Structure 1
């Protein structure tokens, strides 16, 4: 379990995050939603160790978070960003194999190859293993990067602590079918290893369909958190995104009726 208590952050004299209290359980998909400027990216960077808050405490399984080395962080969590810019030719298989760099010296070559093959098979990219990564489409690249995350998680599954996968708008550039395929893969990862997943998303429909927990952010504060039935109400959505009821997509409201 990751716990945040009274987290605050300022930049250039502006309050970005204020009094953030969150619980991020393992074995669940937690989605963070909010308008632009709500503080989602800053919160994400704090959770992944890229940014240090000015106030508050973060604990990971009751241990203080923030003093770990890059290698220790790599063992505990993996991050899938919206885009990864690779401007040099690297084979898909080699890129995916980089997922276990933190423990590569502890893994035998055959085990390494087995994990890479497993990850590529899980994302449906086995046939692309010898392709150059930059030559792939956006959707194909995102699948490869998810495979790299799977390798990182599988290489460290035996560790005596929970692991987390962080998704930074990882479906933003995908079509509707690809978005659902990626989210289904993420749910499978959770079920297999009880991985905790924290994702920034903008798609309310995806949130209603796949999230176990929702965090709604507005102006650096938590407006609501909990399961979909509690958080994704028309009132909360209207307040978070400053929408009138008739501006909330009908298709999304239909999803909400299934949650009730």
Structure 2
């Protein structure tokens, strides 16, 4: 199964043509999309989108509080997140998108850490995996993951770390998300990792509408381009595209507990 493990299909940029975007994804053989929430005000929109009945493609929701939106975060939202996950336990597949972003200008590291830890605790309590956003903070994230020891691990979205950090994530039951960044020739480290890391550690993603591939850099990204990501990884590894799709799809399905029935 060709799975986009990280796509913000609920974002307003898709409001005018969301069904056409989904049709193009289906035409590209995409069978499932994971849609992460990033702020509390987005959660109902994500759930509404993902719980609509569809025959040709499945959408799976994740709910979280993103570190890049600390300005709209309010303390009572953590309790609201736990309550909503409890209510939607049969449909929510992960806590995310959550994490640490120490690349932001004038970021408050302690505020991010407090929010991240609280959400790791929620994921642990509900035995859910997490979808991680990590920039300039892999060592700090790994330290916290070792402390919380999540039962089902998660996915490091848009992985940008080192090979050693990749191995440490894998030890903790995490998969590494690879997307449009590997289409750029200058991304030598990332392309090398995509070529050399065990395929079982990798899942595919687009982060649409963000992180467009090089040939579509001036257009909003779409979930159909996860097929192009699979093709690039196949070329880098010298393996068949169907092998990339099969292994990454199985990994995402097992990790997130995706139910297609």
Q: Give the TM-score of the pair, scaled to structure 2.
A: 0.40
Q: Give the TM-score of the pair, scaled to structure 1.
A: 0.40
Higher relative contact order (CA 8 A, sep 6+): 1
